Amino acid sequence: MTPLGWWGVPLAVLGGAVRVSTPFLFVSLGECITERSGRINLGLEGILVTGAMTGYAVSYVTGNPWVGLLAAAIAGAVLGLVHGLVCSLPRVNDIAAGIGLMLLGTGLAFFLGKPYVQPKAPTLPSISLGGWSDSPQIQAALQVNPLFVIGLALAWTLAWAFRNTRWGLVVRMVGDSSDAARAMGYGVRRVRTGATALGGLLAGVGGSFLSLYYPGSWSEGLSSGQGLMAVALVIFARWDPLQCFYAALLFGGAGALGPALQSVGITSGYYLFNAAPYVLTLGIMVATCSPRRTLSGAPGELSINR
Amino acid sequence: MTGQRLGAAAETLAIPIGALASALVVFGIFLAALGRDPLEVYALIHRGAFASAFSWQNTLARAAPLVLTALCVALPARVGLMIIGGEGALVLGGLAAAVIGHGLIGTAPLTVKLAMAAGAMTIGASWIVLAGALRHYRGVNETISSLLLTYIAIAVFNHLVEGPLRDPASLNKPSTAPIGDVNMLGQLPGLDVHWGLGFGLVLCAAMYVLVHHTTYGFAFRVVGGNARAGRLAGLPVGRLLLVACALGGAAAGLAGMVEVAAVHGTANASLIAGYGYGGIVIAFIARHNPLAIVPVALLVGGLAASGGMLQRRLDLPDATVQVLQGVAFMLILASEALYGRIRIFQPRDG
């Protein structure tokens, strides 16, 4: 039993949520931008894994984790661009292209990342907010990573930009009505391809968190499907970047609940807690959909709404 | 066959084959850039996949579950549903088969096998029908719900296999209790390949006949082409959607039963091997045609079978074949844009 006893559970969940939620946050923000432009990218899982591998490899070669982070972002943007361009072709199904990107991204990452499984690359530093406390558990829970802070700022910025900037309005218009966008003289394909590439960039950053901060190494089993979950997260968050932040915390916390309860002796149901976010997302979809009405808040051009 | 149909048939063959050839070129350039000899790699892939009886056996064993999970995508696709949750149906079907197989130990083996198949198909069908019903009655998007259902299925599977259903004898790899050797599916007569492949071939042929040569299958395709037109023509759209989902889900559940009863002998994490996602790829390359699924599954299975040989002989990572598969799939998808654009395949007086 831990010194904090039962109080250790919420603390561990909070700490775990902050620690685990960062990749969720980045992939969901990326998916949010992509879906707001009217396209879905199921391949963020492949981008996430590629970002993790690229970030780790570049950090190892250059000795600077921030350069690794940048490289992961670029790799993610390139793969996002591939998806964007393939989906811009006529009659290409964006769901299938996403599955293809998932295969391609994970394959490339495992192929090129083979030599980097063993060596130890420099990882990102963490910001300690728990210095005031003597309890090592509280200190551990308040070890905040820089990407979490960046992600939070990004969620705010995006929410603001979607409402208040020309760029945000154009993306939303393209996503809600391509006819309106065309009438206004904006290139629908160009905006969507750009939004998909930007979404890929963010997913690449989310991947680099996995290899450069927590767990902080590169291996083939690094991702536990965070990229695939992005789609569910964005629905859960109703296509709102700020809600994406809370949803990411919730998804991360649900994953941390199992281990936290294990530390106080409750060992069963571990996997069922992991499934809780999916059950919740499905519940929300069932509750808000009807045969005559799609999900509220969903971009009108999104293929999953038709 | 008229010239027009001949042209269309040639087009559906030439475009994917051309895309596949360009994938080989692109991947060859990738290999060459890394200092590898692409021809040597392709020769080894051929040897590992199709050159000997042993490699064929390996290829066919890997293709068997893929044929069945591909049906789980292709059949709903014919009524216009985009189901990507075959993995969940497979996993639960396998679990059901393992539980039934163990529970009926001592009964006549044929009864056990039939009960395992029936149980696996029922649970697989119900799982996918759930996604179809949510779509039809509540308007919930079936792609997303089937993906979510897959995660829920895997969580339930892990919970049961590592908890209540765990065989205490399985120490480092949590598994359910074994179904026993007498209850295992045997080999197809004359071949060193288990019965799963036979199930896949029979189902593909049956589904081809159903979809392309019966009135009921015609109704599927009408609904898939335009559900509103189908409703106006008096077709029972909801029932057709659910039947297509049930058939697809039953195929994926059967894939789980085959993996348990012909390969592992018990249900454990080896079932979650991505066959559901492989099936999506195959169904799309086959353009949701049940007969085309078989050769495509053989190609994909052969590619997977040759991974080990590439690793042993050339010291290439086992993900090599996955990269090739990803490149090929992306290019084949992109080649969809070419249909109707190449002059020589079009009727003259169009």
Answer left, alpha or beta for residue A145, where phi above 0 means left and psi between -120 and 50 means alpha.
Answer: beta
> Quick one: which H or E segment has residue A128?
strand A127-128
Question: Is the backbone peptide bond immediately before B290 cis, with ω within 30 degrees of 0?
Answer: no
**Residue at A127 is within a domain:** no
State the Cα–Cα distance between residues B303 and B50, nearest whole angstrom: 9
CATH number of A196's domain: 1.10.3470
How many domains is chain A partitioned into structurally? 1
Give the C-alpha distances (Å, rounded to integers) separating B148 from A283, B64, B219, B281.
Answer: 10, 25, 29, 19
How remote is the C-alpha of A222 from its chain's centroid?
Answer: 14
> Which residues of chain A neighbour B152 with C-beta distances below 8 Å?
275, 278-279, 282
Across residues A39-68, what is the average pLDDT?
Answer: 95
**Residue at A234 is within a domain:** yes
Neighbours of B243 (CB within 10 A): 20
| DSSP-assigned beta bridge partners for residue A290 | A293
Residue B319 and residue A114: Cβ atoms within 8 Å? yes
Q: What are φ and ψ of residue A250, in 5° steps?
A: -65, -45
Residue A95 and residue B84: Cβ atoms within 8 Å? yes
Q: Is the pLDDT of residue A162 over 70?
A: yes
pLDDT given for residue B186 in this prediction: 83
pLDDT 10s digits, B16-39? 999 999 999 999 999 999 999 999
CA angle B287, B289, B291 (to 5 degrees): 130
Q: Is the pLDDT of residue B203 over 90?
A: yes
Instruction: Of A205, A203, A199, A206, give the one whose Cα is nearest residue A175.
Output: A199
Q: Is the pLDDT of residue B350 over 50?
A: no
> Tokens 């499905």, residue?
A282
CB contact, 8 Å: A91 with chain B? yes
Query: Nearest by CB to B333, which of A100, A111, A220?
Result: A100
- To the nearest whole angstrom, how far is the Cα of A81 from the nearest Cα of chain B? 13
| DSSP-assigned beta bridge partners for residue B105 | B107
Q: What is the ipTM of this complex?
A: 0.90
Average pLDDT score, chain B:
92
**Residue at A306 is within a domain:** no
Q: Is the pLDDT of residue B293 over 50?
A: yes
**Residue at A75 is within a domain:** yes
CB contact, 8 Å: A292 with chain B? yes
pLDDT 10s digits, A179-191? 999 999 999 999 9
**Residue at A237 is within a domain:** yes
Query: Nearest by CB to A304, which of B138, B141, B323?
Result: B141
State the Cα–Cα distance between residues A77 and A167, nearest whole angstrom: 18
> Which residues of chain B neighbour A110 with C-beta distances below 8 Å?
317-319, 322
Q: Is the pLDDT of residue A1 over 50?
A: no
**Residue at A27 is within a domain:** yes
pLDDT band for B342, please (50, 70, 90 cuts): confident
**Residue at A214 is within a domain:** yes
CB contact, 8 Å: A75 with chain B? no
pLDDT given for residue A134 in this prediction: 75
Across residues A86-106, what is the average pLDDT?
Answer: 93
Helix axes B38-46, B290-314, angle to 10 degrees: 120
Query: Nearest by CB to B317, which of A96, A110, A290?
Result: A110
Burial annotation B313-325 (CB, 10 A radius, 16+ → b, else e) = eeebbbbbbbbbb
Residue B322 and residue A282: Cβ atoms within 8 Å? no
pLDDT 10s digits, B138-192? 888 899 999 999 999 999 999 999 888 999 888 888 999 999 989 999 888 877 7
**Residue at A62 is within a domain:** yes
Q: Which domain holds residue A219?
A: 5-120+135-301
Residue B148 and residue A282: Cβ atoms within 8 Å? yes
Average pLDDT score, chain A:
88
Instruction: Say how many CB pairs under 8 Å bridge A and B.
Output: 146
- To the nearest whole angstrom, how far is the Cα of A41 from the nearest Cα of chain B? 12
Residues A22 and A147 sit within 8 Å (Cβ to Cβ): yes
- To the nearest whole angstrom, how far is the Cα of A131 from the nearest Cα of chain B? 38
Residue B277 and residue A99: Cβ atoms within 8 Å? yes
Helix and strand tally (H, E) in chain B? 13, 0
pLDDT given for residue B233 in this prediction: 93
Across residues A45-60, what is the average pLDDT?
Answer: 96
pLDDT band for B224, please (50, 70, 90 cuts): very high
Query: Nearest by CB to A103, which of B156, B329, B334?
Result: B329
Looking at this protein, which amino acid is placed at residue B344? I
Across residues B59-79, what is the average pLDDT?
Answer: 96
Q: What is the DSSP letter of B268?
A: B
CB contact, 8 Å: B339 with chain A? yes
Neighbours of B51 (CB within 10 A): 15
Query: Nearest by CB to A92, which of B134, B138, B333?
Result: B333
Listed by number, the residues of chain B in 8-67 with a beta carbon closer than 8 Å to a beta carbon of chain A are none
Q: Under 8 Å CB-to-CB from B242, ≥6 apart: which residues?
A: B129, B132, B133, B136
**Percent of chain A residues topping a pLDDT of 90:** 55
pLDDT 10s digits, B83-134? 999 999 999 999 999 999 999 998 999 999 999 999 999 999 999 999 999 9
pLDDT band for A281, please (50, 70, 90 cuts): confident
Q: Is the pLDDT of residue A27 over 50?
A: yes
Listed by number, the residues of chain A in 190-229 with a beta carbon closer than 8 Å to a beta carbon of chain B are 220, 225, 228-229
Q: Is the pLDDT of residue A291 over 80?
A: no
Give the C-alpha distances (Å, rounded to integers) separating B119 from A200, A231, B267.
Answer: 42, 32, 14
CB contact, 8 Å: A61 with chain B? no
Residues A41 and A196 sit within 8 Å (Cβ to Cβ): yes
> Which residues of chain A neighbour B36 with C-beta distances below 8 Å?
none
Query: Nearest by CB to A96, which of B138, B155, B284?
Result: B284
> Which residues of chain A neighbour B140 with C-beta distances below 8 Å?
282, 285-286, 289
**Both structure tokens of B198:** 């036979």
pLDDT given for residue B78 in this prediction: 96
Q: What are the sequence ranges of the domains in chain B?
A: 64-289
